[in-house]
Amino acid sequence: MNYWASTFVPWEAPFDFTYWGAIDAHMAKSVIIENNFVGGAQRSGILYNGGLCPGVTSIQPGMNHSIQNNIIHSALSAVSIFPDYTYASDGKYGSSLTCVSVIGFTVFKAVHWGIYYQNTPSVIIDSNILVDNQVGLISFVLAPSMLGHVLSGKTAQISNTIFIGRSSTFNCLTDVKPTDFNALNAMTIYAFGAGRNGLGIVGLTVGNFIANSNGMPHKPWYVKNI
């Protein structure tokens, strides 16, 4: 589903912070997402909880899990993993996985974020192609709390991923940020640094390690909510 719900119920729009995906799998205990092409999603291209890291064969016994060969373009946030969603049945901060992956995506012309990761497991981001996005990749690895003075060996590993700021197919006259009803009500998603005017671009941000969620999507997606 490419449309944002409040497109059809406009009086709810100022209070609607849902960013569900054209492919929406964040409530699934295990997923197979293969060979898809998503274009023009009003909010997220794919919203899910991540793939498996090397050495892990399944999430749930008897359930297959495979995410590969997916292409997404022209979404506000193309590949999205949110802090409140995990594969565990007990919800927030309860995932039994210590690592998830984002592997094998091709993303181009994302309005704000090509790949957006914010969750508690370590993350491996590998073999992606990110082209003509405002910010190609940003990652936040959450927990433990700094108040507990607990050491953690969590990591954000990015490898074999191609970042292209502006390709020869990008047209500055036609490839512009949307100003429709949906975009005007998606105020918290704006990418940092590159600015709202869309004149700047960022390929990769250094991995962020923070104690708790920054409050997205109700709060700005890129700052710590103190």
- pLDDT tens digits, one per residue of 100-147: 999 999 999 999 999 999 999 999 999 999 999 999 999 999 999 888
* pLDDT surpassing 80 at residue 4: yes
Tell me how far apart the alpha carbons of residues 3 and 7 are, in angstroms, rounded to a whole number: 7
Is residue 102 within 8 A of residue 50, CB to CB? The reply is yes
- pLDDT tens digits, one per residue of 67-111: 999 999 999 999 999 999 988 644 444 457 899 999 999 999 999
Q: Compute the mean pLDDT over every residue in the chain, rounded to the nearest whole number.
A: 89
Tell me how far apart the alpha carbons of residues 92 and 86 are, in angstroms, rounded to a whole number: 7
Output the pTM of the full model. Answer: 0.93
Tell me how far apart the alpha carbons of residues 89 and 214 are, in angstroms, rounded to a whole number: 23
Instruction: Read off the pLDDT of each residue in 159-186 and give the average, rounded to a whole number.
Output: 93
Of the candidates 113, 117, 112, 116, the residue with the CA atom closest to the CA atom of residue 142: 117
- Per-residue pLDDT band for 198 (boundaries 50, 70, 90) equals low
Report in angstroms the alpha-carbon separations of 187 from 112, 132, 171, 199.
11, 21, 25, 18
- The pLDDT score that the predictor gives to residue 46 is 98
Query: Averaging pLDDT over each range in 1-10, 17-26, 55-64, which range is the top one?
Result: 17-26
Tell me how far apart the alpha carbons of residues 16 and 138 are, in angstroms, rounded to a whole number: 23
Tell me how far apart the alpha carbons of residues 86 and 48 are, in angstroms, rounded to a whole number: 9
- Per-residue pLDDT band for 63 (boundaries 50, 70, 90) equals confident
Report in angstroms the alpha-carbon separations of 69 from 102, 127, 145, 151, 210.
11, 11, 36, 36, 31
Is residue 185 within 8 A of residue 15, CB to CB? The reply is no
- pLDDT tens digits, one per residue of 25-59: 999 888 999 999 999 999 999 999 999 999 887 88
Q: What b/e sequence results for 22-55 when a residue is b if at least 16 CB atoms lie within 10 Å of its CB, and e otherwise?
A: bbbbbebebbebeeeebeebbbbbbbbbbbbbee
Report in angstroms the alpha-carbon separations of 162 from 31, 70, 126.
26, 15, 9
Tell me how far apart the alpha carbons of residues 157 and 150 are, in angstroms, rounded to a whole number: 21
Residue corresponding to tokens 């709810």: 12
* pLDDT surpassing 50 at residue 225: no
| 77, containing H or E segment | strand 77-81
- Per-residue pLDDT band for 223 (boundaries 50, 70, 90) equals confident
* pLDDT surpassing 50 at residue 226: no
